[in-house]
Amino acid sequence: MSGTSMDAVDCALCTCRPGGIQLIRLWSRAFPKALSGRLHATARGDADAWECGQLHHDLGRFYADAIGRGLRGESIDAVGLHGQTVFHQPLRPAATWQIGEPAWIAEKLRVPVISNFRVADLAAGGQGAPLATLFHKMAFARPGTWTAVQNLGGIGNVTLIDASASTSPDAPPRILAFDTGPANVLLDLATRLVSAGKDGFDKNGRRAAAGTIDAERLDAWLRHPFFRKRPPKSTGRELFGEPFLRGILADWPEATRDDGIHLLATLTELTARSIAENYHRHLPRPATDVPVRVILAGGGAANAHLVRRIHAALEPILPNLTLATSDDCGWPRQAIEPAAFALLGAAHLLGVPGNLPETTGATGPRILGQLTLPPPSIPSAK
């Protein structure tokens, strides 16, 4: 299950076997408004230690209830829990924090819970992200094809599965993966601001589509050093969240007028153009005769205007481009993150490394996650 969104938790019931994963069922549960507000406050650094501790446990109880209510009598072997990222800082001294106490899930469901996946890679010198790479490779690799899986969560990340040069179906593809920068995070924050809290996101990019891009400001934002930084690299809200938006509004105080449509238009273009900039700088170009696929996943894949702008930004640099969504490839966009962590949870139980050091920068492969066991069954005294 995945809590990467601050509005809802996505749960995926999967069957994981060596070399394969199958989605059985998917469900989501929205956070109550008060809980979502507390998550946002914590992520922007507006919560003290008492509130962080309380929220960690409140969220764990919510996850346990969300899973329990979603199950339809199915028997499950384990839970892979990503939790909610409220801090991610991969530079040295590195730190990351995903909250949501797993003991509440283990107690309620009586199964092992594997959580806290990022820290083992971080401790080994890696970025602790991206970690969905193993799943992307398993779900979307296609022989003879250059495939980029672009996740559009709060932060964007790309996994390149380059099988275009493979001489045999059994030859492993070349894999690259890294964060590309902001995806939905700035769009969602700006939408909440301009709608006075009424809307949590710009549905289908309607506001942005009605606005005009401020080319001068966009060019300045695209000069951010993160986009030029070579992989391995990862980022979070600490760089492209509330502080970034505050800086924009200090320079552009009138940005929220007219429903903020011009602000949203320019931020949407920032997401699209920064993705293209990363591809141009950091991914190997496919040969002109090679089939090229870019598969969009995550919540942003439902934003029709954002998808159009990404297509427009990528077309000039990728010949033979086919742009699709993960839904088109048999994986609902909401299932990608929870299925990825289900797979990592299964890998932990099997003793199989879950990171790809060549993508995260870790010094070697690591078994990811920490295990929380359910309470033992103790026979009652007669």
1 pLDDT above the threshold of 70: no
Give the Å distances, CA to CA, from 94 to 241, 309, 357.
18, 34, 16
- Dist CA 41 CA 311 (whole Å): 34
- Dist CA 145 CA 293 (whole Å): 7
21 pLDDT above the threshold of 90: yes
354 neighbors 114 (Cβ within 8 angstroms)? no
* Higher pLDDT among residues 1 and 239, named by residue: 239
Would you place residue 166 in the very low, low, confident or very high pLDDT band (cuts 50, 70, 90)? low
Q: Which residues, in sequence order, are CB contacts of 233 under 8 Å at separation 6+?
A: 90, 127, 178, 179, 226
322 pLDDT above the threshold of 60: yes
- Helix (H) or strand (E) holding 359, with range, is helix 357-360
Which of the residue ranges 90-94, 142-146, 282-286 would you say has the lowest mean pLDDT? 90-94
Q: What's the rounded mean pLDDT across residues 91-113?
A: 95
* Amino acid (1-letter code) at residue 373: L
Would you place residue 293 in the very low, low, confident or very high pLDDT band (cuts 50, 70, 90)? very high
Q: Which CATH architecture has domain 133-333?
A: 2-Layer Sandwich (3.30)
In this prediction, residue 257 carries a pLDDT of: 79
Which of the residue ranges 79-83, 168-172, 345-349, 367-371 would you say has the lowest mean pLDDT? 168-172
pLDDT tens digits for range 61-87? 999 999 999 999 999 999 999 999 999
- Dist CA 174 CA 348 (whole Å): 24
Would you place residue 272 in the very low, low, confident or very high pLDDT band (cuts 50, 70, 90)? very high
Q: Catalogue the long-range contacts made by 217-220 (C-beta closer than 8 Å, 24 or more residues apart).
A: 217/248, 217/251, 217/252, 217/266, 218/266, 218/269, 218/270, 218/273
Q: What's the rounded mean pLDDT across residues 85-112?
A: 94
In this prediction, residue 2 carries a pLDDT of: 60
Query: Among all chains, which residue has been given the structure tokens 């209830």?
Result: 65
Would you place residue 276 in the very low, low, confident or very high pLDDT band (cuts 50, 70, 90)? very high
The domain segmentation of the chain, as residue ranges, is 8-129+337-372, 133-333
380 pLDDT above the threshold of 90: no
pLDDT tens digits for range 194-239? 998 899 999 999 999 999 999 999 999 999 999 999 999 999 999 9
CATH topology of domain 8-129+337-372: Nucleotidyltransferase; domain 5 (3.30.420)
Would you place residue 245 in the very low, low, confident or very high pLDDT band (cuts 50, 70, 90)? very high
Strands 321-325 and 292-297: parallel
Asked if domains 8-129+337-372 and 133-333 share a fold, the reply is yes
In this prediction, residue 91 carries a pLDDT of: 82
Phi, psi dihedral angles at 40 (to 5 degrees): -60, -40
pLDDT tens digits for range 26-36? 999 999 999 99
259 pLDDT above the threshold of 90: no
